Structure 1
């Protein structure tokens, strides 16, 4: 399942957010570190598992546009992208 990156923003030493598409639907994934630890000590990957959100909490702008679950292949594509972006070999 192809992942198409649309935009990348952030600081490499703290966090990088990727806006991407899977099957033409927008998703986001993030790689970050904990400020007091090195990337080798703690590297955090955050991936999307849903297209949108079904909850619709008042304090959040992610709800209200739920389009279903991202298939396992799409979740793994996000992980592959994050790992290969940082460690391309």
Structure 2
């Protein structure tokens, strides 16, 4: 499976608790699409959130995020990780 980094904008002021709740919402349904969300990061000042996942496709990641209520603005394949 491929890895993807998706990016959410307009989440200015997000707290650690809100980020954790959003991540847990994804984890609760990720298996429906064969996705696994590995980690999430946020910059509350800029309102940017990053999510790293392993998934069969970018579309599968998109469907999970949409169902959990926080669609992303962009997604990028991550072909190399060290």
Sort the TM-score into its range (normalised by shorter chain).
0.3 to 0.5
- Bigger fraction of residues in strand: 1
The higher-RCO structure (CA 8 Å, 6+ apart) is 2
TM-score of the two chains, using structure 1 as the length reference: 0.35
Larger Rg: 1
